[in-house]
Amino acid sequence: MSARMSVIVGLVALVALALVPADLTGLGLPYPGLKRYGTYILTLWLVTAIAAMGVNLIVGYAGQETLAQAAFVGIGAYLTAIAGKHGVPFGLSFVLSGLATFVIGIALGFPALRVQKHYLAFVTLAFSVLCWLVFRNETAVTGGVMGLRDIERPFVFSFQLRRALHFYWFVLVIAALMTVVLWWIVRSPWGRAFTALRENPLRAESLGVDVRLYTLLAFALGSAYGGMAGSLYAPLVEFIDPSPFALGPSLLFMLMVVVGGSGAFLGPFVGAGVAVLLPEWLRAWETWYLLIYGVLVMIMMALAPGGLVGLVEFLVRRRKAQP
Amino acid sequence: MTDLLQLVIAGLATGGIYALAAIGFTLLWQTSQTINFAQGEFVMVPAFFSLAAMKLGLPFLPALLVAVLVSMLLLGVAFRYVVVGPLLHRGVLPLVISTIALSIILKETVKDFYSAEAQVFPTLLPDRVVTLLPGVAVSLAQIGVLAVSLVTIGGLQWFLGGTRTGRQMQATAQNPGVARILGVPVERMILYTFVINAGLAAMASILISPIYLAKFSNGETLGLVAFVAAIVGGFNQVRGAIAGGLLIGVLDNLAASYVSTAYRQAIPLILLVLVILFRPQGLLGRREERAV
Amino acid sequence: MIRRIFAGAGLAAVAFAALPAAAQDVVVPAILELSGPGAVSGTMFKNGAAMAVDEINAAGGILGKKIKLEFVDTASDPGKARAAVQRALDDKPIAILGPVYSGSVSATLKLTAEAEVPQIIGGEAAPLTAQGSKYIFRTSFGQNVSMPKIANYIRDGAKAKTVAVVFVNNDFGKGGRDAIMKELAARDIKVVADVSTEAGQADFAADVIKVKGANADVVFVYLNEEESARFLREAKKQGLNKPLIGETTLLGQKVIELAGDSANGVKGHVGLTIDAPIPAIQAFGKKYEAKFGGKPDHNGVKGYIAPYMIKAAAEKAGKLDAKAIAAALHGMTITPDKVPGILIEATWDDTGEIDRISFLGEVRDGKQIITETLPKLKK
């Protein structure tokens, strides 16, 4: 898709997304919008997609592995919740969460990237469990197992975003901005270096691409996206405890990105959509949803490793090829 | 002092089981570049094969045999051909994702189709308490577990080093390409590794389920320990996995006693990170050359 | 065992079935842990509630309307619980049942308080009734009620001066540990060991060694079912011969089954038990076992009395209205002669805390024996 097409599609998508949960009957249109729950799910989808974008950058573009994204989301969430309790305005917490997780990403990635690729996965795995232990044990700071409750929604110019719809629009704007930033990065020379890295690290290195530096930056930036997603997650749920930030959810982030389409720009949105919405659709088979999800992922890996986006692209190409 | 001894012996007993899980994991990685994120579940599931067999009327010992055989078939042969085979050529990431998905599938299947609750699992070895020294009480079961683990490992080492097939497997592990040229039936060797892994996991399952109680969620901690033990011990040597398993078993107990029970899980993980950063070949492993 | 799972799944399928609710049916959402670590507790609660609703409907429903329970799985995750409660509240129900896990309750009680819908929970953590919600109601003692009773027993019954505390590091265990520490301190009893353990932990060798080393007069054990069983086995193996004291779970059927004879000699406070010497509870236990193929635990009892609470309150208020039901429950005493489904006489105060008789028990020869009945806190 050309750049101009992408911009147009993006703007249309943005407007559509803004309108989906809104009650349009006041404007004379027969569309009642979504109730609080539906809006909440949409907002959750956006927040998950932001974190998934981060994973996609690390896994899909830079070709690395991370099993720590949920921990970074947790760091952002706890930072924002604790800062909020001390009166720090949301905007500042959001930026701080991003910066903190970026720095931690650098600190974590720097030594770990000196070794074989799979070892990064294990280092991030260890980091994930360690973070969860800290969240769980340091009760004085994090509220421990009981968590932190009554997290306030942010204020925008002294208007508090209490209503689900208002907070949704707020998150939508932030998500849109973060998507644009990522899109710009991916299309920049920096981003193209990643593709080179992913395809053939040795050749890229011999051509003068500083493999380690780029990979490190990708890892740190991807983790920062996780931290910022966490920063939005805390006021969304208005309550955080350590459970969403354990090892299991980190694994699910990886699955999500691969199911959506690893390395595809829209992959994280699709993957996050599946992860958030699948439990809703499979409501009748509530307890079996994870099992079904696992089976679907395995089948997909064998038949369509490019994920859902890859599958769609394949079908589109095939139709175009037919006379 | 007796406390320390008690902790160490208890740690060695569980460590023996961790070693069994870690060895199979190492073998798989070595021969076929398979990182099996479902290894913990491989150690959880065979116990349920036994329980199911006993429900169908089989007495305990035959049920154990059935469990080991079924494990080798399903978690060895079927795993190799149905899951790993089609994915090997797609690169490592799809395989990793698949094994993560497999771990979820195994866990949920046991939970949904057998039970979400913990099950009592009969013990092969008597539970009598033996006092080695004043203040150091060990159960016969624990000594038995350690003995069985060591015998199994010893048998495996003999097999790998002393028989032709074993040496062929080692060759495959070190360099499949060259092995193939030398006439080693590489595909068959890889299959053997999978079957052996399943067998070891089944043994670990039978030994650990009486202590842990059989539960669908057992795989989570066991899997993590297997990875840590394998890497810390040394990824390219079977003896590394053994050492790693025993070390982690003892370290876990010592950490709980002397550091903090709330952070006991952290100690092995911190060790893992340190080993990866400063001695990536593991404590007993050999340095690996980087493949160009 | 498998039968029970299928029975449970079948019940869930029926509850979900595409049968449209008759226009007369009143929907009560039940937001429970049906998967994840809380699956066992949540499923027990669900079964108990389903059984109660069947009985209520067979007897004519509440104020002439039939009740339909709508079960939603939180997967033991507070975030999902919150989303599920939010969704349920959108339909303006007369009441909400669940969750059982205190963490999930914590995440959701502000929502029900704002929507002014009574939330009947299974959670026992002390802080839940202290957060100022006028719409939260317990179905079993909070730890703020059970722990003083245990502390009294430790002081008067066991006559102990020092205690070793072993707890599971989740919201249930930590809440209990904090509560008992406070009560023991208030009675001048020293805590000489404070051992935290993990949910799902299997190896208790180090923890038992620590407890042995502390040489306390008694050991207070506050773990979940399986971990309790593993701890008891390890304690017996290592020859820990101090009195082991616990609360409901430790003396429960499941632990006795899993721990075998290492459970013998365990003593403790039992808030709610199907082994209580009360005919109504015994009958409930038999009914449950006949229907679901396994014995219930205290979560089953909690689930069972919840719909009856709604019935009694609605009848007192005279209407099926959320706010009125909540108002009626405050200060209400429900007696089994009027409402047999309540099983034991219970009173709710303004914070939603429940007051009932409870029991002291002991495990002898693989059975839970009630040794004493303790009266309600306020007569």
For an interface test with A, the pick among C5, C43, C80, C86 (most A C-beta atoms closer than 10 Å) comes out as: C86
CB of C162 closer than 8 Å to CB of C189: yes
User: Percent of chain B scored above 70 by pLDDT?
Assistant: 97
What's the pLDDT at B287?
Answer: 67
Q: What's the full length of chain A, in residues? A: 323
- CB distance from A241 to chain C under 8 Å? yes
Whether the per-residue pLDDT at B230 is higher than 60: the answer is yes
Instruction: Using an 8 Å CB-CB cutoff, list chain A residues near B270.
Output: 126, 130
Note down pLDDT in tens along chain C; length 379 residues.
Answer: 444 433 344 444 443 443 444 556 899 999 999 877 777 889 899 999 999 999 999 998 899 899 999 998 887 888 888 888 988 998 899 999 989 988 889 889 888 999 999 999 998 888 888 888 899 999 998 888 889 889 988 998 889 999 999 999 888 888 899 999 999 999 999 999 999 998 878 788 889 988 988 899 999 999 988 889 989 988 887 888 899 999 888 888 888 888 888 899 999 998 877 777 888 888 999 999 999 887 888 889 999 999 999 999 999 999 999 999 999 999 999 998 888 888 889 999 999 999 888 889 999 988 888 888 888 876 5
Helix (H, G, I), strand (E, B) or coil at A210: coil
pLDDT at residue B84 above 60? Answer: yes
d(CA C150, CA B148): 44
Nearest CA to CA, how far is B221 from chain A (Å)? 11
Q: Are strands B129-133 and B136-139 parallel, antiparallel or unpaired?
A: antiparallel
What CA–CA distance (Å, rounded) separates C76 from C99?
Answer: 9
- Compare CB distances from C83 to A37, A145, A241 and report the shortest one's residue: A37
* Number of C-beta neighbours around residue C110 at 10 A: 19
Cα C201–chain centre separation: 22
- The nearest CA of chain B is from the CA of A273 a distance in Å of 18
Query: In A, which residues are within 8 Å of B266 by CB distance?
Result: 129-130, 133
Cα distance between residue B283 and residue B231, in whole Å: 9
- Interface contact flag, A254 B272, Cβ < 8 Å: no
Residue A38 confidence (pLDDT): 82
Average the pLDDT over each of A49-53, A282-286, B238-242, C72-76 and give the range with the smallest value.
A282-286
Q: Searching chain A, which residue's CA lies closest to the CA of residue C34?
A: A287
Distance from CA of B254 to the nearest CA of C (A): 7
Residue C297 to residue C214: CA distance in whole angstroms: 33
DSSP states along A6-69: HHHHHHHHHHHHHHTTS--GGGT-S-----HHHHHHHHHHHHHHHHHHHHIIIIIIS----S-H
Report in angstroms the alpha-carbon separations of C229 from A99, A209, C100, C225, C332.
46, 58, 22, 6, 38
Residue among C76, C86, C170 whose CB faces A40 most closely: C86
A11-37 pLDDT tens trace: 888 888 888 888 777 777 777 778 778
Determine, for residues B118 and C169 on separate chains, whether the beta-carbon distance falls below 8 Å.
no
Rounded to the nearest angstrom, the minimum Cα separation between B124 and chain C is 16
Is B276 in Cβ contact with A119 (below 8 Å)? yes
Distance CA B65, CA B55 (A): 15
Q: Which residue of C has its CA nearest to A149?
A: C107
Contact A149 C106 (CB under 8 A): yes
Look up residue A76 and give its amino acid. G
CB contact under 8 A, B104 and A294: yes
Residue A301: closest CA among chain B residues belongs to which residue? B94
**pLDDT at site A285:** 66
Task: Give C143 to chain B, closest Cα distance, Å.
Answer: 22
Asked if A235 contacts A150 with a C-beta cutoff of 8 angstroms, the reply is: no
Fill in the DSSP letter of residue B255. Answer: I
Q: Do A297 and B98 touch (CB under 8 A)?
A: yes
* Cα separations in angstroms, C254 against A37, C275, C367: 38, 12, 11
A201 touches chain C (CB under 8 A): no
Cβ(C42)–Cβ(C297) under 8 Å? no
Question: What is the structure's pLDDT at C2?
Answer: 42
**Burial letters A285-310, b for 16+ CB under 10 A, else e:** bbbbbbbebbbebbebbbebbbbbbb
Its sign, for the CA torsion A292, A293, A296, A302, is negative
B201 near B46, Cβ under 8 Å? yes
d(CA C303, CA B32): 51
CATH superfamily of C144-270+358-374: Response regulator (3.40.50.2300)
Record: contact A129-B272, CB cut-off 8 A: no
Inter-residue contact B137 to B131 (CB < 8 Å): yes
Query: In one letter, which amino acid is A302?
Result: A
Of A59, A112, A298, the CB nearest to B98: A298
CA dist., res. C94 & res. C220, Å (int): 40
- Structure tokens belonging to residue B15: 């460590």
Residue C265 backbone class (left: φ over 0; alpha: ψ -120 to 50; beta: rest): left
Instruction: Please state which CATH class domain B2-278 belongs to.
Output: mainly alpha
Instruction: Count CB-CB contacts under 10 A for residue A313.
Output: 14
CA atoms of A8 and A19, how far apart (whole Å): 17
The overall average pLDDT reported for chain B is 85
C267-270 and C358-364 beta bridge pairing: antiparallel
pLDDT band at B207 (very low <50, low <70, confident <90, very high): confident
**Both structure tokens of B37:** 């994120």
Residue C63: both structure tokens together? 């104020």
Cis peptide before C99 (omega within 30 of 0): yes
Same fold, C2-141+278-348 and C144-270+358-374: yes
Chain A CB within 8 Å of residue C199 CB: no
Q: A209 and A197 in contact (C-beta within 8 Å)?
A: yes
Burial letters C129-144, b for 16+ CB under 10 A, else e: beeebebbbbbbbbbb
* R_g of chain A, CA atoms, integer Å: 20
Q: For the beta carbon of residue B272, count every other beta carbon within 10 angstroms.
A: 24
- The gap from C-alpha B148 to its chain's centroid, in whole angstroms, comes to 14
Tell whether the model's pLDDT for residue B71 goes beyond 50. yes
Q: Which of C13, C79, C90 sits opposite A35 (nearest CB)?
A: C90
β-pairing, C358-364 vs C354-355, is: unpaired
Report the CATH number of the A34-321 domain.
1.10.3470
pLDDT digits (tens, 9 = 90+) for A62-71: 888 889 999 9
Q: Name the residue among C114, C285, B93 with its Cα closest to residue A162.
A: C114
At residue C379, the pLDDT reads 52
Question: Measured between alpha carbons, how far is A180 from A169 in angstroms, rounded to an integer?
Answer: 16
Mean of pLDDT values over B259-287: 84
Please state the domain extents for chain C: 2-141+278-348, 144-270+358-374
Q: Who wins on pLDDT, B188 or A100?
A: A100
Q: How far is it, in rounded angstroms, from Cα C21 to Cα B234?
A: 62
Burial class (CB in 10 A: 0-12, 13-18, 19+), C90: middle
Interchain pair B114, C196: CB under 8 A? no
Residue C81 structure tokens: 């619980």
> May I ask the CATH architecture of the domain C2-141+278-348?
3-Layer(aba) Sandwich (3.40)
Structural domain boundaries of chain B?
A: 2-278
Q: Which pLDDT score, from 0 to 100, does residue C264 have?
A: 92
- And the tokens for C243? 């009195």
Evaluate whether A196 touches A202 at the Cβ level (below 8 Å). Answer: no
Lowest mean pLDDT among A179-193, A295-309, B118-132, C360-374: B118-132
CB C296 within 8 A of CB C6: no
Q: Does the beta-carbon distance from A241 to C78 stay under 8 Å? A: yes
Q: Do A41 and C79 touch (CB under 8 A)?
A: no
Question: Taking 80 as the threshold, does the pLDDT of residue B137 lie above it?
Answer: no
Q: How many residues in chain C? A: 379
A 36-65 → C contacts, CB under 8 A: 36-37, 40-41, 44
Question: What does B124-193 look like in DSSP terms, one character per residue?
Answer: SS---EEEEETTEEEEHHHHHHHHHHHHHHHHHHHHHHHSHHHHHHHHHHH-HHHHHHTT--HHHHHHHH
Distance from CA of B29 to the nearest CA of C (A): 27
Put simply, whether C39 touches A (Cβ < 8 Å) is: yes
CB contacts under 8 A, A 261-320 vs C, are 279, 283-284, 286-287, 290
What percent of chain A is modeled with pLDDT above 90? 31
Which residues in chain C are closer than 8 Å to B6, comparing Cβ atoms?
Answer: 205, 209, 238
Identify the pLDDT of residue A323.
64
3-state DSSP assignment of residue C214: helix
**Vertex A273, ends A271 and A276: CA angle to 5°?**
110
**Mutate which: B3, B9, B211, B218, vs C, most C CBs within 10 A:** B211
CA distance A220 to A106: 5
Closest CB from B94, B280, B292 relative to A202? B292
Locate the chain C residue with the closest alpha carbon to A38: C87
Report d(CA A187, CA A51) in Å as an integer.
Answer: 20
Is A233 in CB contact (< 8 Å) with chain B?
no
Asked if the model's pLDDT at residue B14 lies above 60, the reply is yes
Mean pLDDT, chain A, whole residue set:
86
Q: Are strands C244-247 and C218-222 parallel, antiparallel or unpaired?
A: parallel
Q: Is A131 on the interface with B (CB under 8 A)?
A: no
pLDDT digits (tens, 9 = 90+) for A34-91: 877 888 888 999 999 999 999 999 988 888 888 999 999 999 999 999 999 898 889 9
Instruction: Choose the weakest-confidence range: B144-153, B202-211, B221-230, B283-292.
Output: B283-292
Which amino acid, one-letter code, is at B20? L
Identify from C35, C196, C223 which residue to disrupt to test chain A contact, counting A C-beta atoms within 10 A and taking the largest count: C35
Q: In 3D, which of C339, C365, C353 has the Cα closest to residue C130?
A: C353
CA C144 to chain B, closest CA, distance in angstroms equals 24
Token pair recorded at residue A299? 């089948």
Q: For chain B, give the number of residues.
A: 292
Cβ-Cβ contacts under 8 Å between A and B: the total is: 107
Closest to B114 (Cβ–Cβ): which among C2, C196, C229?
C2
